[in-house]
Amino acid sequence: MVTLEELQVRTLGECKYDSPLSDYVAARATNAYYVAETDRVLIDDTISLLSARGDTPLTEVPSFEPGGPRRKIFFDPKKTKVGIVTCGGLCPGLNDVIRAIVLELFEHYGVTDITGFKNGYAGLVPGKAPDPITLTPAFVETITDRGGTVLGSSRGSQNIPQIVDNLVHREIDVLFVIGGDGSMRGAHAIAEEALARDLPIAVVGVPKTIDNDIPLIGTSFGFQTAYAKAAESIKGARVEVEAAIGGVGVVKVMGRAAGFIACYAALANHDADFVLIPEVPFNLQGENGLLATLRKRVKERGSAVIVLAEGAGQDLIPASRRTDASGNTVLGDFAGFLRAQIARDFKDHDEPLTLRYFDPGYMIRSVPADAADSVYCTRLAQAAVHAAMAGRTDMVIGRPRHRFAHVPISVVVKNTQNVNPDGDLWLSVLESTAQPFNMS
């Protein structure tokens, strides 16, 4: 359980400068739509959860520091130099975050010295990537029209002392890191190194993952666009299998350890008959197994669509011993194994089968953000700028409980967020698909 102490955000020092945005917040008090900078955002959002803490005073209950502009800031905008880096895999909205950070710095804080480091953390080590570029409002004006990131990206760790040396050499005061959990661990290491050297460098993260598996930040940006695109593939699969004899479609979507994309994509159009995710074990064989249940569904309805998160079923195939550049275990090909098992089972039972396989994979993470995600990216970026200019460091911006808040990096990288088999999301999936509650 997270404690109040763990949720305290590090600061670089006293805020002495009047914020250019002080007039915006001078007379605002906490209300249903805004949290004052002196207030806190509670983790517990039900009476039972709060009551379980007994007689703990409200001032000691775990809570987040709220996001948003402050009356006073730590950095002098006229002298502040900023760096931005994007790391890890692609995700819808990366360019939206870059654009919003640049515009907020230029237009509201008057910070005009902004450097974009190329190709992830490699770009922060001299000689490992193309030279950095200067970011201006004119440069970022149209970058949201494309997916991906104009700064490029990379995976894998780099030499942290060399990165900090380079930041010092370039006189960077603020570094914005846009990336996943591995990237946030890197940001934490950079912040730790800077603090150990007593350097006033703010390191602020805007966490991204289309898997939506980073805890305590609410929904991650890009997730909504990703599952909407995945839903289009599921709809296409439904059209294909309905036009075939014994049609079965298998749609594999991203989701290494968390099945959020599979769940939300399946709920988006009610075209899925089965959703397989890493968090819910299942068997292929047996009376209640997937194969028998699938044959029954095809007999009853003429076709079926299976939505498969890439990390599902790994316990049913030999474990992989390979790892990628980020240290993640390379997943086995359960999708291929599943298709072979389906084909064999239908043949053994003399049932007709037309099997179709769909893998939108990397396509769903490389598209531009949709309108809702674009708005979310903008608001996250603005909150990140407010935090950095106020001297916050070693933290990420999130939206827990639908309130923008500051979350220490050390907390968000401690665990991963997963679909809870006892939660309302999985219940909604079972209701939508009518798949058996238990296939084990």
User: CB–CB of 75/81 below 8 Å?
Assistant: no
Residue 364 CA, chain-centre distance (Å), reads 14
- Is residue 354 annotated as involved in ligand binding? no
CB 87: neighbour CB atoms within 10 A?
A: 31
- Is residue 120 annotated as involved in ligand binding? no
Q: Which of 211, 271, 345, 394 is catalytic?
A: 211
Residues 96, 98, 103, CA angle at the centre, nearest 5°? Answer: 95
211 is catalytic: yes
User: CB–CB of 41/405 below 8 Å?
Assistant: yes
Report residue 167 as tokens: 């930041």
31, β-bridge pairs: 34
Distances (CA, A) of 369 to 25, 205, 249, 377: 30, 19, 27, 9
In angstroms, the CA 423 to CA 148 distance is 33
Start-to-end CA span in the chain (Å): 30
Sequence letter at residue 299: K
- Is residue 88 annotated as involved in ligand binding? no
Q: Find the helix packing angle between 260-269 and 424-433, rounded to 10°.
A: 40
Distances (CA, A) of 430 to 306, 364, 425: 13, 24, 9
- Is residue 401 annotated as involved in ligand binding? no
User: CB–CB of 379/198 below 8 Å?
Assistant: no
In angstroms, the CA 172 to CA 341 distance is 56
User: CB–CB of 294/328 below 8 Å?
Assistant: no
- Is residue 181 annotated as involved in ligand binding? yes
- Is residue 295 annotated as involved in ligand binding? no
- Is residue 254 annotated as involved in ligand binding? yes
Instruction: Determine phi and psi for 249, rounding to 5 degrees.
Output: -110, 135
- Is residue 271 annotated as involved in ligand binding? no
Q: Give the H/E segment covering residue 275.
A: strand 274-276
Specify the length of the chain in residues.
Answer: 440
Q: Is the dihedral of CA 342, 345, 348, 349 positive or negative?
A: negative
- Is residue 209 annotated as involved in ligand binding? yes
Instruction: Determine phi and psi for 269, rounding to 5 degrees.
Output: -140, 5
- Is residue 30 annotated as involved in ligand binding? no
- Is residue 185 annotated as involved in ligand binding? no
In angstroms, the CA 357 to CA 154 distance is 30
Residue written as token pair 């997937």: 290
- Is residue 156 annotated as involved in ligand binding? yes
- Is residue 363 annotated as involved in ligand binding? yes
In angstroms, the CA 406 to CA 12 distance is 15
- Is residue 23 annotated as involved in ligand binding? no
Residue ranges of E strands in 328-375: 354-358
Please report, in range form, the residues annotated as the binding site for substrate.
209-211, 254-256, 310, 362-365
User: Residues annotated in the binding site for ATP, as ranges?
Assistant: 89, 155-156, 180-183
Q: Which residues are annotated as a binding site for Mg(2+)?
A: 181
Binding-site residue set: 89, 155-156, 180-183, 209-211, 254-256, 310, 362-365
List the catalytic residues.
211
